[in-house]
Structure 1
Amino acid sequence: MLGLAADLLKSPHPEHSWSFVVTELLGALHGRMSVLVDLDWRAGRGRMLAGAPEWLRQAPMNTLINTHMHEHPLMQQYAASKALRLVRTLDEIADARWYRSEAFAAGREVIGITRQLALPLRCPQGKIRTLIVGRAGRDFAEHDRHYARRLQPILDALDAHLVEHRRYRQVLPMAAQRGDPAVFELTPRELVVLALLAEGLTAQAIAHRLAISPHTVVKHQQNLYRKMRTRDRLSTVLIAQREGLLPLPSCARTTV
């Protein structure tokens, strides 16, 4: 999974990253299904963002999520916020009422699972964003939970990167001239850091946004300066704007 995450951080087209991740989790944890779900707990809405295996995409997953999310013991616990970051299994917290519930019966009938492990990701308050691996038979063992806990910071960082990369791609068409990052041999990760530098964020703030260490941010900055032959943030951002790697400030666009 570490190698996969590293490859996805380098991909210039990361749209299908989570499909690769859920497929990897499916095999590593010997599951029947693996999904990434995004829930707005207060609004009572949710959806599956990625799922494996292929047949799962034909299952009524969004209907199951929206109908039963508030009954789900793991989601109830995550909604309480105190336990939002814990990797848990259903068997650790569910009581007999869950196994007699319509929600449990629906999951068993529609997708054939009786056991679930949840690996939650960072998300804003009031939201739940988590990977869930399900299977029938025995519950997940401690070594499965340990594996998921070790993955959590890696997947947090990948998720944060994908969010910022998508935001960068949405803003870039505003640039008067689309530049080619390959001219400076910039990686997608460095482009994301470049865009956040342009917003004026400190290394500490960028680290928090990307779920990485400030030291790693500084290394990315140094790489940007070296590749773009600059010495500071301002000159780096100005060159990036001139070369079409970043949009020009709005005032500059209106005067052109």
Structure 2
Amino acid sequence: MSGLHAQDYERMLDLVMAVLEHDDPDSLSHLIAGHLQDALGCDTVIFAGIRLTGRVGYAQGWAPVSLGPGVSDVIQRRVEQRHPLITYMEAAHSSPVSITSICDGWRNSSWYSEARRDYGTTHQLGVPLPGAPDEMRAISLGRRGDFTDHELAFITRVQPLLVRADRHVRELHRLRGAAAAGAAASPAALSPALAVPGHDLTPRELTVLGLLAEGLTAAGIGRRLTISPHTVNRHLEKVYRKLGTNNRVSTVLVAKRAGIVP
């Protein structure tokens, strides 16, 4: 694979900062898609998932505007058609892969014809996002023209960031759902959690705080977010400082009284 350049690492850093500073899980995938389109010259970026129970496919996609709800129907067809990327992931492969390297006769396949007809793309690059329970998740990048070795090296280096961002988005969705349920059960509580102004906590710190309030240890939070316990503790130190606390119990109590967590 080709070596990476300084500009590649600048793009990676831009992506990391964009994810950590963005607190809206509903639009974060679109934000990531925009960064990938800029970095790789993609025509489409599709975040796809398959729920293993029932093998139900779902997706969000941009080109660069939303591809709409119909993209989920496309993914469901790919599940039923046994798309090569799905077979690749079922075999426990997790590295980014060009579709032409795992599908003989790609240009003669129905998948190629559909992608070219619907989106104008002729090549695909799959980026598995392992770690979701009871699901297979991946990002599918599409464009006219194959992906180079240098671009494959770039996305391989970026993949761990994408996996963590995907997990971050899912945790934000889950915590917001829990916060909404808590606010509904307690009308006197401030709501919604994770959107209370005036506390200066970053989205990542809010996620760590939400998991702390659920009783997880630093090691447990680290496993959930695929970061080290040391990194978790650094986030917690910042949370303590911003909330004016010095231990986990008082931090959770203050956060609950402020409506930051349910």
TM-score of the pair, normalised by structure 2: 0.83
Q: Is the 8 A contact 1:59 1:111 kept in 2?
A: no
CA contact (8 A) 2:199 2:243 kept: yes
Separation in structure 1 between the aligned mates of residue 71 and residue 149 of structure 2, nearest angstrom: 28
Written as runs of structure 1 = structure 2, the 5 A alignment for 1:1-12 is: 1-12=12-23
**Using a 3 Å threshold, how does the CA distance of structure 1 residues 111 and 178 change in structure 2: closer, same or farther?**
same
Cα shift at 1:106: 1.5
Assess if the C-alpha contact under 8 Å between 1:9 and 1:161 holds in 2: no
How big is each residue's C-alpha offset from its partner over 1:80-138, in whole Å with a ceiling of 9 and x where there is no partner?
2x20x211111111112x4433222212222222211111113435522111111223x
Structure 1 alignment gaps of length 5 or more? 248-256
Distance 1:168 1:62, change over 3 A: closer
The code of the aligned residue for 1:228 comes to: L
Name the structure 1 match of 2:47. 36
Partner of 1:193: 208
Counterpart-to-counterpart distance in 1, 2:107 and 2:39 = 26
SS state of the match for residue 67, structure 2? helix
- Write the mapping of 1:18-29 to structure 2, written as runs, cut at 5 A: 18-29=29-40
For the residues of structure 2 that align with 1:230 and 1:79, how far apart are their CA atoms? 46
1:1-256 paired onto structure 2 within 5 Å: 1-41=12-52, 43-54=54-65, 57=67, 60-69=70-79, 70-80=81-91, 82-83=92-93, 85-96=94-105, 98-124=106-132, 126-137=134-145, 139-173=146-180, 174-175=182-183, 176-178=188-190, 181-247=196-262
Report the CA distance between 1:50 and its aligned residue.
3.0
Q: Distance in 2 between matches of 1:223 and 1:101?
A: 53
Mapped partners of 1:111, 1:41: distance in 2: 27
Distance 1:178 1:172 in 2: 10
| Residues 50-84 of structure 1, C-alpha deviations (whole Å, 9 max, x = no match) | 32222x6169433322223343111111022x20x
Instruction: Return the alpha-carbon distance in structure 1 between the equivalents of residues 140 and 88 of structure 2.
Output: 14
Unaligned ranges ≥5, structure 2: 1-11
DSSP 3-state at the match of 2:189 = coil
- 1-side partners of 2:74 and 2:217: how far apart? 42
1:172–1:246 CA contact under 8 A, matched in 2:
yes
**Which whole-Å CA distance do the structure 1 matches of 2:109 and 2:82 have between them?**
9
Name the CA distance, whole Å, in 2 between partners of 1:58 and 1:187.
Answer: 30
The higher radius of gyration belongs to: 1
Please tell me whether the aligned partners of residues 44 and 61 of structure 2 are also in contact (alpha carbons under 8 angstroms): no
% identical aligned pairs? 35
Asked if the contact 1:33–1:134 (Cα under 8 Å) also holds between the matched residues in 2, the reply is yes
Structure 1: how far apart are the matches of 2:216 and 2:154? 33
SS at match of 1:46: strand
Q: Structure 2: how far apart are the matches of 1:71 and 1:226?
A: 51
* SS of equivalent residue, structure 2 residue 48: strand
DSSP 3-state at the match of 1:184: coil
In the alignment of these two chains, the number of paired residues is 242
- Structure 2 Cα separation of the partners of residues 71 and 209 of structure 1: 30
TM-score, normalised via structure 1 length: 0.85
Cα distance in 1, alignment partners of residues 247 and 109 from structure 2: 60
Q: 1:64 aligns to what SS in structure 2?
A: helix
How far apart, in 2, do the equivalents of 1:106 and 1:42 lie? 27
C-alpha contact 1:79 1:126 (8 A) present in aligned 2: no
| Equivalence for 1:253 | none
- Taking structure 1 as reference, are residues 73 and 42 closer, same or farther at Cα in structure 2, changes over 3 Å only? farther
Q: CA deviation at 1:225?
A: 1.4
